[in-house]
Chains A and B, each alone.
Chain A
Amino acid sequence: MAKLVLNEEERMLADSARAFLDDAAPVKHLRELRDAGRTHDPALWKAMAEMGWAGILVPESAGGADMGHAAAGLLAGEMGKTLVASPFLSSAVIAATALRQVSDRRAADALAGIASGEVTYALAIDEGPKFAPEATRMEARREGNGFRLTGRKTFVVDGGFADRLLVLARTGEGLTLFDIPADRAGVSREGRAMIDSRDAARIDFDAVEATGEDVLGQVDDAMRVLRPALEAGQAALAAELSGLAAGAFGMTVGYLKERKQFGVLIGQFQALQHRAADLWCQTEVTASAILHAGRKLDEDPENATLAVSLAKARATETAKAAVIEGVQMHGGIGMTDAFDMGFYMKRARVGAEWLGDYGWHAEQVARLRGF
């Protein structure tokens, strides 16, 4: 397997991403969106697409950059550092990976749409408060040559503005993944006000018509397409959380070096030093799991489940620790809305739940390690 260090190309990608995002999407950008009552910035996504990020996992034949999952993780990590709101995970990672599992004309066209930034996707999978794709109950009843989808999906991330939806539904024998436009008759979506100020929708399907054309992959065999897409999304989300932890931690260490109390810098207190040092150790350990998951998805995707769940489990816990300590070590100012740490804390909580929380992924590790 490729080394667990960044190569020249990867380093350049991360550096250029950081330079662009510091300018175009610092945390202030998310704050401005929130204050304006918006969850998404199409102009920002367009600029990202022009740099090739929307097509990071799209084949070159469909206009993508095809740089792989480790590279996608680097971008997600840089986005995480400044809490960049974009459909990168939903469209460029999850939907693109799902569509790549299918080799027909329609999938190729859809991938081209993603790469250009013109088409955005959202994954409609959750129905209850916890991630449990296998327990999907929403029904796609056969009718003539097609299906009728009826039911409700919750926590559809980026579902409030996405052009298309990947919808998981039960079809008699098993689960089937549908790829339908979000404005199809019978689809009604309601954006929810989320704690992280980003987009997520509740979507009702009222006898929505779907044809065989709308099925991604095979009927009753959603997981063949969905599992790789979920794992890609989980790995990239883990990378985002790892970046988020690094961003929050950087602010905290900076504060320890400038804040004075009792006549000394608070960073001189050993109680705080050791907690900060422990946190740094945790972020380093998690960073290894993140890079490894990206490499594994690129080189041995059939056997990446353990690596991906390890990354998501670790990243969830590390991000949580980083934001809790971030607020605590900043003291009073950490509690205020005017200060950015709260944004990190809220996004960390959303990222913890999305695509499986710590318990869900730890359970995968347990299963694969013989528990």
Chain B
Amino acid sequence: MIPLAHYLIFSGILFAIGVAGVIVRRNIIVVLMCLEMMLSAANVSLVAFSRAQGTDGIPVYDAQILALFVVGIAAAEVAIGLALIVALFRARKTVESTALTTLKD
């Protein structure tokens, strides 16, 4: 069987790529996509821990419920975020994060 650490490393790499995307990309839609990737990476580690903590082959279902809640919150977050992006595009005609400097100026 695959050790727990390999699942955790996989989820960590996925999370790190998401962080890199949030830092590197300027398109806010792609930044939101990278945020979703980070949430799904967290889900993988939650399910891996639910397997590792289980007894007699039955996983701990609390962790899987938590992962389910993460999916639900992610759906709500995407709806709000994309609505914000649409409103931003209406106001500024751009979705570049570098173009939003009103508070800086």
The answer to whether A binds B is: no
